[in-house]
Amino acid sequence: MPSNRPRGLKAEVFALRSTGILPASLSGKDDALSPFSGLDRNGCWEIRWTEGARLGIFHGMRGAVIEILRWGGGRKCRQAIKSLRNALLLLLVLMPLARGAEEVAHGLVRACSSIYPPPLEEVRYATTYNFTGHVLYPFPVVYLHRDAAAALQKVQEDLASQGLGLKVFDGYRPLPVQAKMWAIVPDERYVSDPLKSRGKHTRGTAVDVTLVDHLGNELPMPTGYDDFSEKAHRDSAKWSLEQRANNLKLEAVMQKHGFVPFPFEWWHYDLRGWENYPPLDISFEELARGVETAKPAD
C-alpha cells in the first residue's frame, strides 16, 4: 500500500461519519479512524492512507467475522455484522486512495504572469469578503490551466483593442475549498457538488470574470460577483439595457475564443472541452513552491 499522504479533502469520510454510517471505532478497542482522518488546513475532513489505517480496518473486519462465528445470532452477532458492513463501506472510500492514480503534470499557471496585458485580479476568496465569510485561499492569486490561460490571452488582446480588459475573480480552486463552499451552498446552480462532478474550477478550466474600462473601472453588470439569485441567471428579465449590452459583449468575446457561458452565473465561463481535464487537488502553497505534478482527484 502506498504510504504517501494523498492531498486534500475526501468528503466521503465527513459524509459517512456525520450520518453515523462511519463508526468511531471498528475494532471496539481503538479508534481506527485516528491514524488517517482529521481536519486539514482548511478545516475540512481529509483521509491519510497509512499502515495504521489499513491495520485498523482489517483488524476490525477480522474481529467482526470472529464475533459472527462465535455468536451465530442475536444482538452481538447483529452488532458484528454492522461493524463488518461499516468496515466494508470504509474500504470502498479508501481503496481508490490506496491504489493512487499516477501523478500528472497539472498544467496550472499564474494568470497574471502568463497573460499580457495582465488582467486585473480581485481574489475575494483570499479575504472574508465572499459569500462564505471566511478566508478560503492563503493568498490572492489566480491559477488557470495553460490552455485556459492561452484562450484568455486572446480574449484580453481582443478587448484591449476596444479599450477594455478583464477582471478575474477566480480560476483554479482546490478541492477542499470546493467542499467547504458546497457545505454552505449545496445548490448545483451555483456550487458544484464535489462528490459528483468534483467541480469545474478544480480542473483549472473555469474562470470567473467581468469587464473593465481602460482605467480599471468595472462596467455595469446584472449583479455583483457571487450573487446567488435568479437575477444572475443569463435568462433573467431583470437586467437593464446597459447591463445586458455589457454582458453580451463579454459573452461574445469569451465564446469567440473558446469559452462556454454558464447559464446561472453571468461571470462564470468554462473552457470548451473542460470535461476532458482531470479535477486536481493541489494547494496554492504547493503551486507557489513550484510543484509541477498532482494526483487527479477523481
| Same domain, yes or no: 75 and 125 | no
Query: What does the block give as the cell for 133?
Result: 465569510
| 179 and 269, same domain (yes or no) | yes
Give yes or no: residues 52 and 199 share one domain: no
> What's the rounded Cα separation, in Å, for the pair 168 and 157?
15
Q: Is residue 263 part of a domain?
A: yes
What pLDDT score does 140 carry? 97
In a domain, 5, yes or no: no
Q: Is the pLDDT of residue 85 over 70?
A: no
Tell me: do 126 and 86 sit in the same domain: no
Please indicate, yes or no, whether residues 129 and 93 belong to a single structural domain of this protein: no
Whether 123 and 246 share a structural domain: yes
Top-confidence range, 16-20, 22-26, 42-46, 191-195: 191-195
Gap between the Cα atoms of 34 and 154, Å rounded: 50
pLDDT for 7 beyond 60: no
Q: Is 149 part of a structural domain of the chain?
A: yes
Question: Are 74 and 117 contained in the same domain?
Answer: no
User: For 61, how many CA atoms within 13 A lie in the half-sphere containing its CB?
Assistant: 11
CATH of the domain at 283: 3.30.1380.10
Question: What pLDDT is attached to residue 183?
Answer: 87
Band of pLDDT at residue 123, cut at 50, 70 and 90: very high
Active site residue 265: yes
Domain for residue 4, yes or no?
A: no
Statement to judge: residues 80 and 108 lie in one domain:
no
pLDDT digit string (tens) for 147-190? 999 999 999 999 999 999 999 999 999 988 888 888 888 888 88
- For residues 262 and 167, membership in a common domain is answered with yes
Mark whether 48 and 76 lie in a shared domain: yes
* Spatial separation of the C-alpha atoms in residues 72 and 78, rounded to whole Å: 9
Dihedral (Cα; 59, 65, 69, 70), 10-degree rounding = 40
* pLDDT on residue 120: 97
Indicate if the pLDDT at residue 24 is higher than 50: no
Let me know if residue 260 belongs to a domain: yes
pLDDT of residue 71: 60
- 3 in any annotated domain: no
Q: Is 254 left (phi over 0), alpha (psi -120 to 50) or beta?
A: alpha
Whether 37 shows a pLDDT value over 60: the answer reads: no
Q: Is residue 154 part of a domain?
A: yes
**By mean pLDDT, which of 136-140, 177-181, 196-200, 280-284 is the weakest?**
196-200
Q: What is the pLDDT of residues 204-241, one digit of tens each?
A: 999 999 999 999 999 999 999 999 999 999 999 999 99
Higher pLDDT, 32 or 235: 235
Same domain for 111 and 51? no
Number of domains in the chain: 2
Helix (H, G, I), strand (E, B) or coil at 95: helix
Domain boundary among 41, 73, 99: 99
Give the per-residue pLDDT at 48. 42
Phi, psi of 168 (to 5 degrees): -110, 130
Cell numbers for 183, please give them: 457545505
User: What percentage of the chain has pLDDT greater than the value 70?
Assistant: 65
The more confidently predicted of residues 119 and 184 is: 119
165 and 80 share one domain: no
- 168 strand-pairing partners: 121, 209
User: With pLDDT > 90 as the criterion, what percentage of the chain qualifies?
Assistant: 53
Beta bridge partners of 294: 104
Point out the catalytic residue in the list 265, 285, 286, 292: 265
Task: Classify residue 6: in a domain, yes or no.
Answer: no
Domain that holds residue 87: 11-99
Q: How high is the pLDDT of residue 60?
A: 60
Q: What average pLDDT does the structure give for the chain?
A: 78
Query: Can you spell out the DSSP letters for 119-152?
Result: PEE--GGGSS-STTSS--SSS---EEEHHHHHHH
**Contact of 297 with 278, CB cutoff 8 Å:** yes
Q: Domain end: 65, 99, 133, which one?
A: 99
Domain end position, chosen among 99, 116, 132: 99
